[in-house]
């Protein structure tokens, strides 16, 4: 099931540690560069907070793959989408972008991933006990919506 991790156990084990350490290390520069999330109506913090986790995760992914001797991505579309979505996150931290701009960038990133890879949601399994629910022509739309939902932490309220 997890064949893609074969020979990469050290990379997988180090990723959370490196990402957490890098997030911590980026907090001070983020404050200096104005990459802060400021308190507001929908915020849970009461003082300006550097939000550099996405940037730290991208750098960790690239660095550990390079150290492991792997080409960072089998697909340049995935690489471009990751840069786009991370870039929009950094720009949002610096300039408080509108929800529409963020949504458009996230949707574009999802479309780029779907169009350049074989990563598609093709069925929903046996949800109703009547057999596998095949998506057919709806597969593209469901995949893009799923990616955007994950990018926005759709699970945040229900998985805590």
Q: Give pLDDT tens digits for 127-153.
A: 888 889 889 999 999 999 998 988 877
Residue 158, pLDDT score: 46
Residue 25, pLDDT score: 92
Give the domain-ending residue among 72, 99, 117.
Answer: 72
Query: 40: number of CA atoms within 13 Å, CB side?
Result: 6
Q: Are 98 and 88 in contact (CB under 8 A)?
A: no
The residue with greater pLDDT, 95 or 121, is 121
Q: Which two tokens stand for residue 99?
A: 């929800």
Q: Mean pLDDT over residues 79-94, rounded?
A: 83
Give the domain-ending residue among 41, 72, 103.
Answer: 72
> Is 23 exposed, middle or buried (CB count within 10 Å of its CB: 0-12, 13-18, 19+)?
buried
Task: Give the count of beta carbons closer than 10 Å to the beta carbon of residue 72.
Answer: 14
Q: Is the pLDDT of residue 107 over 90?
A: yes
Number of domains forming the structure of the chain: 2
User: Is the same domain home to 66 and 79?
Assistant: no
Q: pTM of the full predicted structure?
A: 0.70
Residue 86, pLDDT score: 86
Strand partners, 134: 123
Residue 3, pLDDT score: 54
């Amino acid at each position: 099931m997890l064949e893609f991790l074969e020979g990469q156990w050290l990379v997988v084990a180090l990723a959370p540690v490196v990402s957490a350490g890098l997030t911590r290390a980026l907090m001070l520069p983020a404050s200096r560069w104005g990459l802060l999330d400021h308190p507001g109506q929908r915020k849970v913090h009461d003082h300006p907070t550097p939000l550099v986790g996405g940037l730290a995760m991208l750098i960790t992914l690239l660095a550990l793959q390079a150290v492991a001797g792997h080409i960072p991505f089998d697909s340049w579309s995935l690489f471009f989408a990751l840069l786009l979505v991370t870039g929009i996150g950094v720009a949002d931290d610096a300039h408080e972008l509108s929800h529409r701009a963020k949504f458009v960038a996230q949707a574009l990133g999802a479309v780029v991933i779907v169009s350049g890879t074989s990563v598609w949601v093709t069925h929903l399994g046996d949800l109703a006990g009547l057999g596998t629910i095949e998506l057919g022509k709806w597969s593209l739309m469901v995949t893009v919506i799923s990616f955007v939902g994950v990018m926005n932490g759709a699970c945040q309220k229900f998985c805590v």
